[in-house]
Chain A
């Protein structure tokens, strides 16, 4: 975990005082709302439907237990006793009072948390794989590079007033758990022909109104060139991105308009002036960054005995067995497993967590997981390093706190934006629909039989629920002032990334669960075997096989 030195701490503290002064000027009428807007956004503060919303950064999803406890405390003192984990690994508070925000930021700074650049037309939180450092399929740990990018992008003087927001994700494994193809810049750790690890750079991916899968701008970049190359991309975007139309201002639009060849040339031209300059990473800097993300002191266990103990517990308790199968994963170190903490209990807004639950997870992290917790872009948490012979105790504690729904990666592990209940941008309320779907599909055997299905719900075209890359995507639309939902199928964020295909005309909220059921029925009938996933079946049989039956009796 990165450790702040005196300089890091001072910068965060100075930022708090800067924002305090700006807030005071605004409240005193010395700043107009339009002038205060970019300043508060770059400190994570939205003005929302019911109350301001504060988005706190969790850099690449990694937290210490004391940080999670502080978030619990803040939710209690300044909010309504809960927080919401977003699809970019950040946490959001829905109810802070504007005049309290400088104090909240000061409290956050005391544990090295902040809300810097979590909104606004600047470089946002760099996100990553929630299993970084522990996944079996890891090529190299992405977190040192996330930290280097974080520092480079924080208070970058050139890129604080970009045409639009800018999101970077880094993946270090074979499997892409960071959705790098759906980001403005995606960075993938890869080996070249000589076996050297470097970066494959993707550009121009994104969701929202015009979803696009990112294009490769550079197949392999030596590590030392990472920051200077990113700077070249940002500079081209800053100078040439559209500023006339907010909905055409992302880099994906620029890349499309120029074409990837011309865009690459423009970036290379800028890069020639930066390449090998002072922004080039040194071996020392890379080594120092890597030094913060070393392995914790794993114990040398009698792995076989530990596994046997665990297996016995599973035989005794099928509920524990189900959770073990669905919510824990193989760890690269023998004797340990990765634990997913589900924030998808039925009738809870996906990603929401109460102050008590936060404190429980912090305690479990201290006792069982070396004091660290990760947040995922699918709105769950992770305890990355749990001894196999301690899984039962961990499960009991999580289960008692409604944090153990054994549905990781299944239909009801829904990714859902806050939607119309909270967000002024929304066309529809996503949370009630999420709940309706969870209630309807509550049979665990059925869910397990269906297998892995990413169901994503967005309340509007801004796609904060990432519906475009859901295997089943649901989008809230406003039809004649009423809430309707459009369904898409076949989106994917891993491997062969794809944008979902729209099924057809939208449905009223009450109809949607039944339509989902019909979609699932078609899958079950058409799949070649129980091993063929929903996504694979869809890709094989195509949308017509779904469209025809579903719309046969409608309209």
Chain B
């Protein structure tokens, strides 16, 4: 089975229990304005041009149809990779590679001894795992056959059939809840949250292992109304998930957005609001944690 990924990262400590290897899938149906992996949104391979590594030597111009000058014209780039090979400074990078399930597993299984001693495993993330449903399920199945557990980081916007089958394979869910208000959800992520909530309820009914992730972006989705709405939902479903973690917004994605030729919306750094948010949740009647 083939899929498209853009990274495999080892020794991940914040993507589920224990020590994990995270497999980053390329492609996501959402377009969250605060996304810190903007290079994961489009499903096709794309060029990342790192200006900070470029010495303007011009080697790339000669081999590239999208370059009359050093900064590429994104409308003409076909992600052929020619500029990647020729650049002496590794300033060009092709983000996104087609791989087979076995190629991924060959990397994932290398750290099996660490999964065993830490209660860790594989995490499928991205991008959005449910956007490549068969590939993701084949990874979960392959991992399971080797005694490796899988966690899925997901926004929940995918086919219910995928989520059901993943839960049947005993995948563990790290599930985003970005916004309870459906209209504002659509304005900020490009999709409504109906499907997201339906899938979540289905998983809770199936008694799947769920940790809720609440990305909080200062001034965007942390109004008292937003937080109250979240608290209502959490209270209503208390006991049907492990716990909820707030994820304060950070600016790490902005450099990567530039590298793929986009400008990212920039918001205020979230970390300094962490304690205040945690207190607010508690005052509103539901204790949440920060993802530390």
Q: Do A and B come from one complex?
A: no
B residues sitting closer than 8 Å to A (CB atoms) are none
A residues sitting closer than 8 Å to B (CB atoms) are none
